[in-house]
A and B are shown apart, each in its own frame.
Chain A
């Protein structure tokens, strides 16, 4: 059998092409052959110029204008076929020698060698020897050696033209030889033998038969030559005669041959046309041919020579002719028949050729699986031959089948990919690729077949001595089918991997990955110290609007987006190492040693650092791969490069993702990660990574240790934080802000010192002092603390509660090396420095109380203190040392008040605290007449209060008189607008409004009071007393702050009515003195100072001053009462002890706003002793404001004002 047969094979002239002389370099030989083999068809029209008709041509119908000669070049020649008489196309009719002159200098030797080489080709009619690239000397010599045709050295085009000429000359010579042969055969006849004939015993009968048959056979052979000479019409005529003769003589075999030839002649004649009738004709004749061959085979079955190969060849020829989709069924039948016939073929190489041809035809029919099946048969036949060339062939054939079985090597499939999709895979079309590869996963379930194919590939490549192919096959087998292979088999594969790698040079790469399975685990986010912030150069605050704003470093939204490949973007920085987590799995039963694994980066701007890993059997591991970006631009990480089993392979993340997807759908045998006990399916896609130019990098550390500072509540401490620029670019902009909890505990940051240090050169350091006041522990914390206290642990440090120092900084605005995109702005960075503070509980408040006491004033003749200045503001004149006095006189009511804030503190800590109270004073009074607070010295000079551990102590804080001078309607403004009784409800917003205002003024007061503490040498702080004071004052707020609408003041009338003037001037002067000193000594509480001021049995003129503290005039009816020590009213009633002149009750008065009205009267005390005078007034037609002040609910209620009592000491008359 011959390979590559078709119906038209019969008209091809076989030319043996032999290399002659010295060795020809393979590329040269290939070059020469390609020049030659380009001329498979030589048109008769072009041959005619070389053709000379020596005698009348036997080819009478030769189509000189349309016909052609066909050549079939057999490189290296072929041994003569025993059947060459039967089919002339099997003869080698010409020999062409190829010689490479530089390697064979002696041309005459070449000529001799060529002649020797031509010897075996007995049927060759024409010999040509072409010599290429001759030297000049050889050109000279070549003129003598006429057997060798020298091709002048020139360019390829010229040589091709030369070659064309030579081939045309060859064709013409052959044509003339054919003519000669035919003429000789026609005249003299010829002996034609086939192996069939030689076997037959020559009985007399046979001889006669043979003589009869000879004519027919000669006609058939002449027909063959006509066909070869390109004259189908002549051929057809001869074939018809031959068929007739063969039929008559019963020469079945030759009959079939002639019929075959006639079909070929028919096709050549109808060159190119293909219609249904022609096809029918061909089909009909060929089926006859097959029948005839079969008959010949059966007939000659007794003989040892089998002609079955001719039958099979005929079947293949027809199948190839018919090979079309529509006729698939017919072709398949033919091929199946041929395949069945393979059993009757004796020669293994015949069977090989048959299977090859069957596989080829199936392949061109589109039956890939059947083609693969027969290819496997071919490979098995090759493997039966025990030599490495056959093994190589087997390997090649199996590689062809691997596609049909979906086990092809990645290297082969990648070539196809790049052909079909020259753009290459990108992230965008990942989804589409996914879909396709998932579909292909389905077909990859024929594991039984696939494993067999891979095993055969492995075996044949081992035998062929191709370690790389062996490695690749073993890798594919192990990676794809490990669940189906026993642990022993897995180890066997592993050892065959190792064995084949030993025969490979170090650093060999293979397209097919073996183990381990690698998937992307995650990209660690930049630590907060290295955060990158986008910079918008237009804004002053360039970091604003960049992704993580707000109080959270991580927002839940950005976290959720990590799975979405489109959204996630990573920025890496040139020169700063980055890390990627990948997960490796070894699902096999042996120890896997990964010599090195590193990220495979195709963009070429990344230096990856290799890592070596050991994976125990059935285990998975997450490892950290790192590298350094080297250049600006995008980074693509499709997978990892792995050096394992001695070969470097690239493992793509995408493949494993597909595998896992398939495993999730049950398409793939097993999920390697799950079988190793690793987590669930989680597909992490590679984000878009871009590399930006170097940025500055600030590194912070706290001077004196990075540990948490342990502070007591309220303690104030300076912390120095030093920043170092660890990057390679100076910091040019920096801005400090605070975030996190307890921000207000940071009292001051030396922003200036940072700003003045800019630009911070690489390596430079700046130290920044920060003052922190430890915050108050919350309720939860303190509860926590108290519970902890019992067990002796009292420190609380919660990560969440510490303030964070956020520093946004950036390098130079523009980066010179990226001129392409002019608007490129190098991003800034953010450094988050947590101020590690551990707050301990300090002093605890137990209670806070307002201590208030009122001491009634004594009646005297002059106002003690208020002096009205022009602008209406009042100032209390006090003696210089009144500062130290805790008792202050109320300038309006005239009574002595004594207000203290008492704080009870306990010390649950194990250190001693000393508490010190100071009040900061305003230097000036406000213009609107806040009179109360005067200039105090900052320090009271009180001794410090010491509080020992586990003890409590009280601290007194003086509260000065804070009353406002005017009862202003603004406090109650809202209330006056409301018309009905509801207006005075507590829930009223106005009430709240006023409260807020009150609170504000209280806050104002509180901020002036500082309670400092000190503990040991280093700790000092301030007590937060705000809440305590507020709580203590809240209840009596109004009374403290707001003045009464009316105040009453009793005095002795100096120049009152009549006899008062008689009062001894001495007494008067004494009284003034006393009045002057009153505030000095009154603290002692002694009232003996007033002795003799008022005598019994004397008419004492007095006056009551009524001051209106509101801004509206008030009409009232005033009454004055006098009570004795027992509290009895001593003015009225039958037993009155005081006589009086003037009006004491029901005095109708109108007091203009902010002014005083005096009312005079006289008293006559009958009995010496202590008396109390008190003024009271019923206000007529009270305004809403007054009602509110009086806290009345209904508008009908009368408003009653009562002054504070005044004491009068009446001495006896003596």
Chain B
């Protein structure tokens, strides 16, 4: 189950952060997303080292913690998508698929002429679309 998805802008500014848990661990998720930027930063700054394919947008598992796994995705415009899940066994293909759909939703959201680049995404349709993707991801793995 995905507990949190986040969009982080070029300057590591949070653009969108949505958690999908009932428990009040939002702050913890904030911390996890914030900390995972360390790894992304490293990969963004040293793309040659240890990352064989330059065109790869999917960053894979960023770091595993005791309960969570954090996956990352980097767009060409250096916008980062971060996903926090509590599923310990996730197939990379599922993850890629998820991020691809998420990316499409994001592109649609920022294509809105009323969206100011660099500002937080407040679109409700984006939120509902994201939660739909998140839900389908959960069902996809179980099915």
- Are the CB atoms of B34 and A373 closer together than 8 Å? yes
CA distance A452 to B42 in the complex (A): 26
Knowing that A367-B39, A448-B26 are A-B contacts, what are 20 other residue pairs whose CB atoms are under 8 Å apart, sorted by A's residue number?
Answer: A325-B42, A332-B39, A339-B65, A340-B65, A340-B66, A343-B66, A366-B38, A369-B35, A369-B37, A370-B38, A442-B10, A442-B11, A442-B12, A442-B13, A443-B12, A446-B30, A448-B27, A665-B118, A665-B119, A666-B116
Q: Is the CB of B31 within 8 A of A449?
A: yes
Q: List 25 A-B contacts (CB under 8 A).
A: A325-B46, A325-B49, A326-B49, A326-B50, A333-B64, A336-B65, A339-B65, A339-B66, A340-B65, A340-B66, A366-B42, A367-B38, A369-B37, A369-B38, A439-B11, A445-B13, A445-B14, A446-B30, A446-B34, A449-B27, A449-B34, A665-B118, A666-B118, A667-B13, A667-B118
Chain B 19-54: CB-based contact to A (< 8 A → 1; otherwise 0): 000000011001100110111001000100110000
Tally chain A residues at the interface, Cβ within 8 Å: 28
Question: On chain B, which size bracket covers the interface?
Answer: 20 to 34
Distance (whole angstroms) from the CB of B94 to the closest CB of chain A: 22
A889-941, CB < 8 A from B: none
The complex places the Cα of A452 from the Cα of B39 at a distance, in Å, of 23
Q: With contacts A326-B49, A443-B12, A666-B116 known, is A336 near B27, CB below 8 A?
A: no
Q: Are A368 and B11 within 8 A (Cβ)? A: no
Which of chain B's residues have a CB closer than 8 A to the CB of A343? 66
Known: A326-B49, A446-B14. A369 touches B34 (CB 8 A): yes
- State the CA gap A1204–B124 with chains docked (Å): 107
Contacting pair A336 B64 (CB below 8 A): yes
Alpha-carbon separation in the docked complex, A370 to B50 (Å): 21
B35 & A442 in contact (Cβ 8 Å cutoff): no
Q: Does A581 sit at the interface, judged by CB under 8 A?
A: no
Interface string of B49-64 (1 = CB under 8 A from A): 1100000000000011
Q: Collect the chain B residues with CB atoms within 8 Å of residue A452's CB.
A: 27
Secondary structure class of chain A's binding surface, majority of residues: helix
Residues of B within 8 A of A1080 (CB): none
What CA separation (Å) do A439 and B118 show in the bound complex? 11
Within the complex, the shortest CB–CB distance from B136 to chain A, in Å, comes to: 28
Q: Is A666 a contact partner of B42 (Cβ separation < 8 A)?
A: no
What residues on B are CB-neighbors of A336 within 8 Å? 63-66
State in angstroms the CA–CA spacing of A1158 and B63 once bound together. Answer: 135
Q: How far is the CA of A710 from the CA of B55 in the complex (A)?
A: 86
Query: Are B9 and A442 neighbours in the complex by a CB distance under 8 Å?
Result: yes
Give bound CA distance, A845 to B35, whole Å: 92
Taking CB as reference atom, which chain A residue is nearest B14?
A445
B42 touches A328 (CB 8 A): yes
For residue A373, which residues in chain B have a CB less than 8 angstroms away from its CB? 31, 34-35
Within 8 A of B (CB), among A357-384: 362, 366-370, 373
Question: Contact residues of A with B, CB < 8 Å?
Answer: 325-326, 328-329, 332-333, 336, 339-340, 343, 362, 366-370, 373, 439, 442-443, 445-446, 448-449, 452, 665-667
State the CA gap A370–B9 with chains docked (Å). 19
Q: Provide the bound-state CA to CA distance between A373 and B12, in Å.
A: 16
Closest Cβ of chain A: how far from B88's Cβ, in Å? 13
Q: Are the C-beta atoms of A448 and B30 separated by less than 8 Å? A: yes
B89 → A minimal CB distance (Å):
18
Contacts of A448 in B (CB 8 A): 26-27, 30
Residues of B within 8 A of A439 (CB): 11
CB distance from B51 to the nearest CB of A (A): 11
Whole-angstrom distance between the alpha carbons of A586 and B23 in the complex? 37
Please give, as numbers and ranges, the residues of chain A lying within 8 Å of B50 by CB-CB distance. 326, 329
Which residues of chain A have C-beta atoms less than 8 A from B120's C-beta?
445
Q: How far is the CA of A839 from the CA of B13 in the complex (A)?
A: 68
Q: Which residues of B contact A366 (CB under 8 A)?
A: 38, 42
For window 1-22 of B, CB contacts with A under 8 Å fall at 9-14
The smallest beta-carbon distance between B19 and chain A, in angstroms, is 11
What residues of A have a CB within 8 angstroms of the CB of B37 in the complex?
A: 369
Report the Cα distance A340→B116, complex, angstroms.
41
- B31 touching A332 by the CB < 8 A rule? no
How close is B47's CB to chain A, nearest CB, in angstroms? Answer: 13
B128 to chain A, nearest CB (A): 22
Cα–Cα distance between A339 and B119 once the two chains are bound (Å): 35
B118 lies within 8 A of A442 (CB): yes
- A659–B77 CA distance with the chains assembled, in angstroms: 25
8 nearest interchain CB pairs?
A442-B11, A666-B119, A367-B38, A442-B13, A445-B13, A340-B66, A370-B35, A369-B38
The interface residues of chain A lying within 8 Å CB-to-CB of B12 are 442-443
Q: Which residues of A contact B65 (CB under 8 A)?
A: 336, 339-340
CA distance A370 to B70 in the complex (A): 14
Minimum distance in angstroms from A423 CB to a CB of chain B: 27
Complex: how many Å from CA A445 to CA B120? 10
B63 A332 Cβ-Cβ under 8 A: yes
Chain B residue, CB-CB nearest to A376: B31
Report the bound CA distance from A336 to B32 in whole Å: 13
Complex CA gap A340/B37 in Å reads 20
Q: Which of B10, B12, B26, B119 has the most CB of A within 10 A?
A: B12
